[in-house]
Amino acid sequence: MLNIDQLLQILSECSGDEQALAQGDDILDREFELLGYDSLVLLETSAQLKHRYNIDIPEDVIRDLKTPRAVLEYVNVPASRN
């Protein structure tokens, strides 16, 4: 399981955007594109999820996950993967 705080911690570290954490739950459905999280930030997020929590999100998959909620669902609800 991955919770939103763990994910936001990683996202804010990877993007260098400390404000991301402060946005709390509001951030769940914000699109990565609108947060400025480009492909390099998402690749780094994928690497950190693997490193810290042994969670595997292949690079080509994380590029297609548009929001923090989509990442949480991918990790926590295996049935959501198709």
Partner 1 sequence: MDAPTPCPCPPRPRVVLTFPGQGAQHSRMAAGLYGVSKSFTSTMDHAFDAFGPAGRTLREGWLAATPPTAFDDISYAQPLLYAVNCAMGTMLIESGLRPDVLLGHSVGELAAATLAGVFSFDCGLRYLSEYIGVYQHAPRGGMLAVAASPREVEAHLVPGVVIGAVNAPRQVLLSAPKEALADVEAALRGAGITCSRARALQPFHHPVMRDVVTAHAGSLTRPPLHPPHTTLYSAYTGQELADELATDWQFWTGQPAEPVLFGPTLEHLLSSGPHLLIEAGPGQSLTALARRTPAVARGEATALALLPARAGEPDADIEAVRAALTQLALYGCDPLTPDF
To partner 1, the closest distance from the beta carbon of 51 in angstroms equals 7
- Picking from 82, 59, 57, the residue whose alpha carbon sits closest to that of residue 72 is 57
Q: Which of residues 31-70 bind partner 1 (CB under 8 A)?
A: 33-41, 43-44, 47, 51
Q: Among 20, 55, 57, 75, which residue sits at the site for partner 1 (rule: CB under 8 A)?
A: 20
Q: Of 24 and 36, which CB lies nearer to partner 1 in the complex structure? A: 36
Q: Of 5 and 51, which CB lies nearer to partner 1 in the complex structure? A: 51
Q: Which residues of 11-48 are buried (b: 16+ CB within 10 A; e: fewer)?
A: bbebbebeebeeeeeebbebebeebebeeebbebbbeb
